[in-house]
């Protein structure tokens, strides 16, 4: 600690990302990356953007990318906000739309970055416990609030709400901003983007890091009512106007246009998830039905999640273990390729014998 740190900085409890080992000895099932690379078209678009024009600033409005996303989701360009990762989009959202007098509400088991943003930006919050079976219950949110945010599907449970339930949330809270963090939506849930035209209090955030195989490019976006987006733009333009590089704009735009590899990869991942879920259950795991590119699984009796995480790591397989209340009996296992998942299953069998 330094005497030069601001008071806020002293009080921070920064987010701790999953391990990112620099060597490639591991089967990496710990940070929900896509096992399939971006397509040749996407890589080519990025490479083509890496030319002499890099001496010039990128478009501060990223119009090409915004228009591409708008066309894809049948909204207008001014319904779209883009940023350097969905973490950044969420950070600006907390500042612009979720800091009010009443507390922000989010599930107790959820993306662990939400309370980190609240501390960074001085936002009062209240965590609403999931049900015993890890469900978000609409009725528990019927209390005074300055906004509501939750992932759909939720993380790290993988459980999704259906659109009628989302719409019920919106109708229950017409005076609160509702942010749906759809980082994992492409793996089995329905996006709420179709509702933004009807509900001016809805903001949907998404990322290119998971279903679009571009975690290393750092691009995220939000879709919502034009006035909500204008608030995000005000904050972004008070923070760094040129948020996205030329490569990021080009690569993300190409990715949205490349529907074929997007569809193919996400279907492969869904298929692998459905194949390995019963196989994990056969090994004694309790697996929560997942709509995401991971499963949240409780090891069989006789194994603690923490031990099993360590044992798998010794066998060069990385999964995610959260040392946190209510979820420390579970492992979050990213869906990799079929070969990677078979290697995981084989290793689990070895450990168990």
Give the shortest CB-61-to-a second copy separation in angstroms: 8
Binding mask 300-329 for a second copy (x = CB under 8 A): ------------------------------
Name residues contacting a second copy, limited to 63-82 (CB under 8 A). 63
* Chain centroid to CA 227: 24
Nearer to a second copy, 154 or 334 (CB): 334
Q: What is the largest CA-CA distance in the chain?
A: 60
Distance of CA 62 to the CA centre of its chain: 22
Nearer CB in complex with a second copy: 42/331: 42
Residues 32 to 61 in contact with a second copy, rule: CB under 8 A: 33-38, 42-43, 46-47, 49-60
Percent of the chain as helix, strand, coil, to the nearest 5? 40, 15, 45
Site for a second copy in 230-249 (CB under 8 A): 230-231, 233-235, 237-248
Q: How far is the CB of 94 from a second copy (least distance, A)?
A: 9
Is 192:178 a contact under the CB 8 Å cutoff? Answer: no
Can you tell me the distance from the alpha carbon of 101 to that of 120, in angstroms, rounded to the nearest whole number?
16
Stretch that binds a second copy, among 96-104, 155-163, 280-288, 301-309 (CB under 8 A): 96-104
Residue with tokens 């579970």: 330
| 23 lines the binding site for a second copy (CB under 8 A) | no
**Residues 213-232 within binding reach of a second copy (CB under 8 A):** 213-218, 225, 227-228, 230-231
Residues that bind a second copy (rule: CB under 8 A) add up to a total of: 89
List 69, 80, 109, 116, residue binding a second copy (CB under 8 A) = 116
Among residues 176, 122, 168, the alpha carbon closest in space to that of 147 is found at 176
Say which residues have a Cβ less than 8 Å from residue 155's Cβ, sequence separation at least 6.
Answer: 110, 111, 183, 184, 292, 294, 332
- If phi > 0 it is left, if psi is from -120 to 50 it is alpha, else beta; for residue 79 that is alpha
Closest distance of CB 201 from a second copy, Å: 6
User: Which tokens belong to 282?
Assistant: 């056969």
Nearer to a second copy, 201 or 285 (CB): 201
Measured at the CA of 112, the angle between CA 85 and CA 339, to 5 degrees, comes to 70
Which residues ranging from 167 to 196 are in contact with a second copy (CB under 8 A)? 175, 177
278 forms part of the interface with a second copy (CB under 8 A): no
266 binds a second copy (CB under 8 A): no
Q: How many CB atoms lie within 10 A of CB 12?
A: 12
Q: Which stretch binds a second copy (CB under 8 A): 11-19, 127-135, 269-277, 325-333?
A: 11-19
Footprint on residues 124-163 left by a second copy (CB under 8 A):
none
Residue 338 binding a second copy, by CB under 8 A: no
The residue count for the chain: 353
Contacts of residue 166, Cβ cutoff 8 Å, sequence gap at least 6: 152, 180, 192, 195
Told to check if 9 binds a second copy by CB under 8 A, we report yes
- Least distance (Å) from a second copy to the CB of residue 330? 22
8-state DSSP, 154: -
The closest alpha carbon to 41, from 257, 187, 221, belongs to 257
Please state the closest distance from residue 296 (CB atom) to a second copy, in A: 20
Binding residue for a second copy, selected from 41, 76, 100, 168, defined by CB under 8 A:
100
């Amino acid at each position: 600690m330094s005497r030069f740190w601001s008071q806020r900085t002293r009080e921070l409890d920064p987010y701790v990302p999953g391990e990112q080992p620099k060597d490639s000895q591991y089967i990496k099932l710990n940070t929900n990356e896509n096992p399939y690379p971006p397509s040749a078209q996407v890589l080519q678009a990025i490479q083509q953007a890496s030319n002499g024009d890099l001496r010039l600033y990128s478009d501060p409005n990223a119009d090409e990318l915004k228009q591409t996303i708008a066309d894809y989701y049948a909204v207008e360009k001014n319904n779209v906000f883009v940023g350097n990762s969905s973490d950044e989009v969420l950070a600006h959202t907390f500042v612009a739309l979720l800091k009010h007098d009443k507390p922000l509400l989010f599930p107790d088991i959820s993306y662990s970055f939400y309370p980190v943003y609240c501390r960074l930006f001085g936002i009062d919050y209240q965590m609403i416990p999931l049900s015993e079976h890890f469900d978000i219950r609409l009725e528990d949110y019927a209390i005074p609030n300055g906004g509501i945010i939750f992932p759909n599907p939720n993380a790290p449970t993988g459980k999704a709400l259906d659109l009628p339930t989302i719409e019920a949330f919106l109708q229950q809270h017409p005076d609160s901003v509702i942010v749906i963090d759809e980082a994992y939506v492409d793996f089995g849930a329905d996006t709420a983007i179709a509702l933004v035209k009807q509900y001016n209090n809805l903001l949907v955030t998404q990322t290119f890091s998971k279903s679009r195989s571009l975690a290393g490019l750092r691009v995220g976006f939000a879709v919502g009512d034009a006035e909500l987006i204008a608030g995000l733009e005000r904050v972004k333009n008070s923070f760094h106007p040129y948020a996205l590089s030329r490569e990021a704009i080009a690569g993300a735009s190409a990715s949205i246009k490349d529907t074929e590899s997007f569809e193919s990869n996400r279907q492969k991942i869904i298929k692998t998830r459905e194949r390995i879920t019963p196989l994990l259950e056969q090994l004694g795991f309790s697996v929560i039905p997942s709509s995401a590119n991971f499963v949240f699984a409780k090891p069989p009796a006789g194994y603690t999640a923490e031990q099993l995480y360590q044992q798998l790591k010794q066998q060069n397989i990385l999964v995610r273990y959260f040392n946190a209340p209510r979820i420390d009996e579970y492992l979050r296992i990213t869906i990799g390729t079929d070969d990677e998942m078979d290697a995981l299953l084989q290793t689990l069998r070895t450990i168990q014998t």
